[in-house]
Structure 1
């Protein structure tokens, strides 16, 4: 009996201990659940407080911005004061013709005619901010800039305007001149070509020539794309101006913008002159039983063509190894040098062509074409050219022209017969001449 009571007591004690442990565990679980619940409540309160603070901050910022915008003053437009009295009163008022010629490369009458020709493209529009720059000032600023090597700032200070105005109106001037005055550079018709040929023969004894062709390099800043193509054989970046001039230094055909590394013959074949060579007047005459067309003369860099004459080479089968052929070269070159003179007068008048320009390639082409047109305009107006305007030795050393590179292509047989006929004619009717060497 005592053993049963003892076992029952032990069982009861174990049951009580298990019940006590269960109650402790349940209490711990309950406390953990309560703690987690309190944490969730605290987190929701914190989130609500943060959102509330953000709303308060955003509302305050919007209110501050709104108040500042209401108090902000309207922006004012800044304008550089214009002091153009120098041109309007002094230049237009009492400048003598020589000062006009020195600064603008033309006299006042020619300047006024140029303004008349450009008024359809450069007349100022209505400006509601202030009075626009007049047509005369726009043209004068452009001529002044082209005639000097000065920067835009120098021209701007001289005329009392901002340099951006000079740059903007100079670009408009390029477009206006090339659009409205392009007919100042045209190939002569048959009758005019014969008149030029008659004057040419009277001056140089060389028959059937109405023009001379050559190329000259204009310094530029090479473009990023294909910059090596523009480096000529003297090592500086340039574009090539190919031109044909008559006996009065007027350009009859131009092709500008070819990369400086190109050969003169490649420039010729890429030009409008070569593509439209069928339109060149022929008007052949019989010389020494040979039909000889009207011709353009060029140096050895060009091919010998039925419309393009060049001298005898100094090497090879057709070399100038006789007195008659050497005399032919001397007579021909004496007239061919007119194109060299035309280039000198072009760059002397418009000295901007002597300076490396920062314009893009498209604007460089317009610049060169504009200067050529203005050159012809000045020549047609009979404007005087001063030899002191010619490029000096220092300028020539800064950008030396690349040496001549003779053309090595095949010779046209018809053109070769024409050359032999003229050579025979000169030997029969004129004294033999020899090349003088320095």
Structure 2
């Protein structure tokens, strides 16, 4: 009897094992990644296609790979071969360049979507760490004065240390977040705040503040904003403008989304008659502040992930956005890289002979990201006096630009 029971139990176990379907460790078509040609490998053989595919030249790709390769490399195991560092970087750059879904990238690179969801955050974090020297806030008076000199030489605006702006980056609604990330434009977002120099490079970036925050909260939330308001940025001490007597602080240029303070200057909103001193001052402020608008414009037109609604975990969104900013500065590091990343016609330009501003090509997509608007500010008397001093300076012989009047006739105020 016992033997019969044993035989029945053994037969039951064998039958159960036969019925149990084995789970694949990896899908066969994905497992043939290294042996079969795929589109990404074909493209790597054509320099022009490679640049469009990854948004950088093959030389820049190899340079970046050497920078971050050790940080993203994974070891082979007895079970399977690790995904190569080249494929990991290519997947991430393609994701940033297009905003394609993980499923779409899976078919393109023969890497599972589960692996891609891990690879992209890891590579973005490695890009930020490996390229951290490309976004560096000036640390002392000498470096800040070099930034101010560039603004004076290139944009005829003295005592300017940078241009401030913010952009809403669309995201899917985070779980259990309520309306924290729901902005005034009626979509969920985080805010990308940035400071740029006179050459379209980022001096400082911060991403992650909830889209619903307003009334100066975004600016005050950042380490940069806190340091500026507490006067711990080590910026130069006030000096007189050429030909003037009043000690005038060094400033950052902003729009009406930011508070008017001793170190933040923004346009006037009243008494803007054509040819008036305030209108002239607004033009000069807006002309120099366009740098940050153009920087955001080229960033978003190249890295199209910023044109989409980013559908990843919230904890990874910040690294994705900041990694794009680091790549922006990296791709503008020399003349050759700049010519590929931002060719002539990319940024706004000026036709002095006819008095016209020629829009850059990035503006074709400018509606895809929304300006940060935090309207209504109480300005101190001191801050207003400083802005008035710049206004008076721009009307003097030393501060006047000979062709500025051409831009004031028939143009709208800002």
In the superposition, the TM-score normalised over structure 2's length comes to: 0.81
Backbone CA RMSD of aligned residues: 3.1
Name 2:309's counterpart in structure 1: 356
- 1:72 to partner: Cα distance: 9.0
Q: 1:351 to 1:88 in 2, by over 3 A?
A: closer
Q: 1:195 to 1:404 in 2, by over 3 A?
A: same
Is 2:126 the counterpart of 1:176? yes
Map 1:44-123; keep pairs closer than 5 Å. 62-66=9-13, 75=22, 77-79=25-27, 80-83=30-33, 85-86=37-38, 90-92=42-44, 94-96=45-47, 98-123=48-73
Instruction: Indicate the structure (1 or 2) with the bigger Cα radius of gyration.
Output: 1
* Structure 1: gaps (5+ residues): 1-51
| CA contact 1:348–1:389 (8 Å) conserved in 2 | no
Q: 1:132 to 1:389 in 2, by over 3 A?
A: farther
Match of 1:216 among 155, 167, 173: 167
Q: 1:400 to 1:274 in 2, by over 3 A?
A: closer
Name 1:232's counterpart in structure 2: 183
Name 1:37's counterpart in structure 2: none
Match of 1:144 among 94, 98, 117: 94
Name 1:412's counterpart in structure 2: 380
Is 2:151 the counterpart of 1:194? no
Secondary structure of 2:209's counterpart equals strand
- 1:340 to partner: Cα distance: 0.7
- Paired with 1:217 and 1:191, the residues of 2 have a C-alpha distance of 33
| CA contact 2:168–2:372 (8 Å) conserved in 1 | no
Secondary structure of 1:420's counterpart equals helix
Q: 1:99 to 1:67 in 2, by over 3 A?
A: closer
- Paired with 1:187 and 1:200, the residues of 2 have a C-alpha distance of 16
- 1:258 to partner: Cα distance: 1.5
Name 1:48's counterpart in structure 2: none
Q: 1:176 to 1:61 in 2, by over 3 A?
A: farther
- Paired with 2:26 and 2:185, the residues of 1 have a C-alpha distance of 47
In the superposition, the TM-score normalised over structure 1's length comes to: 0.77
Give the structure with the larger helix fraction: 1
Q: 1:108 to 1:60 in 2, by over 3 A?
A: same
Q: 1:157 to 1:280 in 2, by over 3 A?
A: farther
Name 1:309's counterpart in structure 2: 265
| CA contact 1:290–1:417 (8 Å) conserved in 2 | no
Map 1:392-411; keep pairs closer than 5 Å. 392=364, 396=367, 399=368, 401=370, 404-409=373-378, 411=379
- 1:365 to partner: Cα distance: 1.1
Secondary structure of 1:379's counterpart equals coil
| CA contact 1:87–1:137 (8 Å) conserved in 2 | no
Is 2:219 the counterpart of 1:268? yes
Q: 1:349 to 1:416 in 2, by over 3 A?
A: same
- 1:166 to partner: Cα distance: 2.5
- Paired with 1:291 and 1:360, the residues of 2 have a C-alpha distance of 49
Q: 1:406 to 1:57 in 2, by over 3 A?
A: farther
- Paired with 1:228 and 1:204, the residues of 2 have a C-alpha distance of 41
Count residues in correspondence.
375
Is 2:266 the counterpart of 1:298? no
Q: 1:78 to 1:292 in 2, by over 3 A?
A: same
Secondary structure of 2:31's counterpart equals coil
